[in-house]
């Protein structure tokens, strides 16, 4: 999730600083998507493509078919995907549509000018729980108290920092320490505290090859902070660092982190690098899901292909149909 921040700008600036031309980066992304030069991002047979009715299908990778499903109770959606239509009377109507698609949990990106109590009342009526949210590092203890109070009112399990960016290593060390301190307080309230990545954590050179991801995975306390891995952005990070196999880069990132990966943002990727609705892009999700199963699979598309609601419906259907 970008949450109003310039994630692609941060990525481009990190690549420019390393002397990577954007056109060459796009060519690398295209090669990755096509399986030319770089290994295929999606190993195309594993991609689920929508049929003529818009319903996603699924094609298992030869020799690697599985029959394990994503449990329906672990499927969520990041509400940033629907931000353009979440206003006024549409708020309740759109939550109701998500419930009809099958969602029983959401990850919030704000409260739409309402109180946490009002949002919970709406969601309870529809059989949905706000199990997670995106929240920046608190500026004051009072802000943290409000954040925790809202999360408790909503019965959240998770709370995640959505975005940080700097080319100064000291900032990342300071943020890690702030997050550890904040996570300790949040944990005492019974809530799990995490960090959500973009691509620039892997592509920003802070000096001597040190990256923000290096700092965070070494500095964040694994007992206090978990990871919410955005699969689109970690694969894009793999492309950005020139990984021969960006999906394996993502898998290695997940498996090698000292912190627990409890949540995925499941977001697909066009060969050009643009966002795509689930099952219509190039990322081999079954391969990633086989390697590690989180507690939540969260549908997201920062720029929905057609409409936010279609993205939501296609995403839920894909995660219910995919096997790994």
Residue 36's pLDDT band (boundaries 50, 70, 90)?
A: very low
Beta strands in 179-240 (DSSP E): 192-196, 225-230
What pLDDT is stored for residue 225 in this prediction?
98
Q: Is 112 left (phi over 0), alpha (psi -120 to 50) or beta?
A: left
Compute the average pLDDT of residues 88-94. Answer: 95
What pLDDT is stored for residue 6 in this prediction?
72
For the chain, the first-to-last Cα distance in angstroms comes to 25
Compute the average pLDDT of residues 257-275. Answer: 97
User: Where in the chain are the domains?
Assistant: 7-321
More confident residue, 268 or 12: 268
> Could you read off the pLDDT of 143-155 as tens digits, one per residue?
999 999 999 999 9
More confident residue, 74 or 89: 74
Residue 230, pLDDT above cutoff 60:
yes
CA distance 123 to 104: 9
Q: Are 297 and 264 in contact (CB under 8 A)?
A: yes
And the tokens for 118? Answer: 């009002």
Residue 103, pLDDT above cutoff 90:
yes
- Work out the mean pLDDT of the chain and round it to a whole number: 88
CATH 3.30.470.30 fits 7-321, yes or no: no
Q: CA 38 from chain center: how many Å? A: 23
What pLDDT is stored for residue 243 in this prediction?
98
Task: Indicate the range of 8-22, 179-193, 207-221 predicted with least confidence.
Answer: 8-22
**Best CA proximity match to 134, nearest among 177, 221, 76, 206:** 76
Measured in degrees and rounded to the nearest 5, phi and psi for residue 95 equal: -60, -40
And the tokens for 64? Answer: 């690697």
Can you give the pTM of this predicted structure? 0.86
What pLDDT is stored for residue 39 in this prediction?
38
Q: What is the DSSP letter of 206?
A: -
């Amino acid at each position: 999730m970008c949450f109003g921040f310039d994630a692609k700008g941060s990525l481009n600036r990190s690549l420019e600083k390393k002397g990577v031309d954007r056109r060459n980066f796009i060519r690398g992304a295209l090669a990755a998507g096509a399986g030319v030069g770089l290994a295929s991002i999606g190993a195309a047979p594993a991609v689920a493509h929508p049929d003529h009715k818009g319903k996603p299908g699924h094609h298992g990778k030869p020799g690697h078919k599985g029959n394990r499903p994503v449990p329906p109770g672990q499927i969520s959606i990041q509400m940033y995907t629907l931000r353009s239509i979440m206003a006024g009377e549409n708020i309740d109507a759109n939550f109701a549509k998500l419930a009809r698609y099958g969602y029983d949990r959401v990850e919030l990106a704000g409260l739409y000018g309402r109180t946490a109590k009002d949002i919970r009342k709406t969601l309870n009526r529809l059989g949905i729980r706000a199990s997670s949210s995106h929240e920046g590092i608190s500026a004051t203890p009072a802000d943290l108290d409000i954040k925790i109070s809202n999360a408790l009112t909503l019965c959240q399990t998770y709370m995640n920092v959505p975005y940080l960016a700097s080319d100064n290593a000291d900032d990342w060390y300071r943020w890690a320490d702030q997050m550890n301190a904040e996570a300790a307080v949040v944990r005492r309230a019974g809530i799990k505290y995490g960090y959500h990545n973009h691509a620039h954590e892997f592509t920003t050179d802070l000096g001597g090859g040190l990256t923000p991801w290096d700092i965070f995975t070494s500095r964040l306390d694994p007992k206090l902070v978990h990871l919410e891995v955005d699969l689109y952005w970690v694969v894009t990070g793999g492309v950005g660092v020139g990984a021969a196999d960006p999906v394996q880069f993502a898998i290695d990132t997940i498996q090698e982190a000292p912190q627990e990966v409890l949540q995925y943002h499941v977001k697909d990727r066009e060969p050009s690098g643009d966002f795509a609705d689930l099952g219509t892009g190039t990322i081999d999700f079954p391969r990633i899901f086989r390697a590690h199963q989180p507690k939540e699979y969260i549908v997201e598309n920062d720029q929905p292909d057609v409409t936010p609601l279609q993205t939501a419906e296609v995403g839920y259907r894909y995660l219910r149909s995919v096997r790994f």
